[in-house]
Amino acid sequence: MSEVPRCGVTAVLTDRTPPVTVFARAVEERGLHAMWLPDHTHIPVARRSPYPLGGALPEAYTRLLDPLVALAMAAAVTDRIRLGTGILLAAQRDPIVTAKALATLDQQSGGRLRVGVGFGWNIEEAANHGVPAAHRRPRTREHVLAMRRLWEDDVAVHARLAPSWSWPKPAQRPLPVLVGGAPTDTVFAHVVEYAQGWIPLGGHGLSSAVRRLHALAERAGRDPATVRVVPFTALPRDESKLDALHRAGATEIAVAVDPNGPDLDHLANLLSR
């Protein structure tokens, strides 16, 4: 097998899985690169929005840990693994408060944070936050741009706030933001404008999508080599899937694992071959 990119995990951690500190240590002990945690503030019981992966919504989604609190706990008991939101529903969060929390997490962890953001699929959840379905994408953009000013400028200026001071600043400049979503022109426009990378779901059509994304980045005056591509994918049976994602343009891979099972050991064994 040819060399594969760095490999981390994405997991749905809840009040019924092992504690986040235990899981984070297990990820680091197995030599894995990163852990990514999803974000849902709540799941409205009366819901018409279909689960994107089909079928019934897994119960675990109703019991998610808050990703920022959980990642801070993970940072406190690890030294090496990268810590990611996968994905943060930025439109549903106050950007000033969220910018402070993310900057603190990156600064205190020694620059280990990556901020995966997405537009969200649960229309009812977003509506409870005062975000109509049609406003999710522009609201996400607005919030990320506001956070960028708070992270990167000594005096932050944005339409959402008066000129303001906000410290700490992230250890990383820029703090990496990756946009999650399908390989559409709309998603890629967000990536090229204000992000450092893209999070696709799975690897179908990845090679052609990466070529399109690189072309758009180059057209905008960005170096395509600096655009990260981190597919979230199911646990593979063997190394060939990881190799295929690498050849298609993945710069890192996040494998979905069950925190209650042997998936971490299986993945570590694949990577050690």
The ranges assigned to domains in the chain are 6-272
Q: What is the pTM of this model?
A: 0.95
> Helix, strand, coil % (nearest 5) of the chain?
40, 15, 40
Segment 267-273 shows an average pLDDT of 88
Query: What's the pLDDT tens digit per position in 92-115?
Result: 999 999 999 999 999 999 999 999
> Rounded CA gap, 51 and 215, in Å?
32
pLDDT at 3: 53
Burial of 180 (0-12, 13-18, 19+ CB in 10 A): buried
Query: What's the pLDDT tens digit per position in 178-228?
Result: 999 999 999 999 999 999 999 999 999 999 999 999 999 999 999 999 999
Whether residue 164 is predicted with pLDDT greater than 80 in this model: the reply is yes
CATH 3.40.630.30, applies to 6-272: no
Is residue 5 very low, low, confident or very high in pLDDT (cuts 50, 70, 90)?
A: confident
HSE of 165, CA atoms in CB hemisphere, 13 A: 1
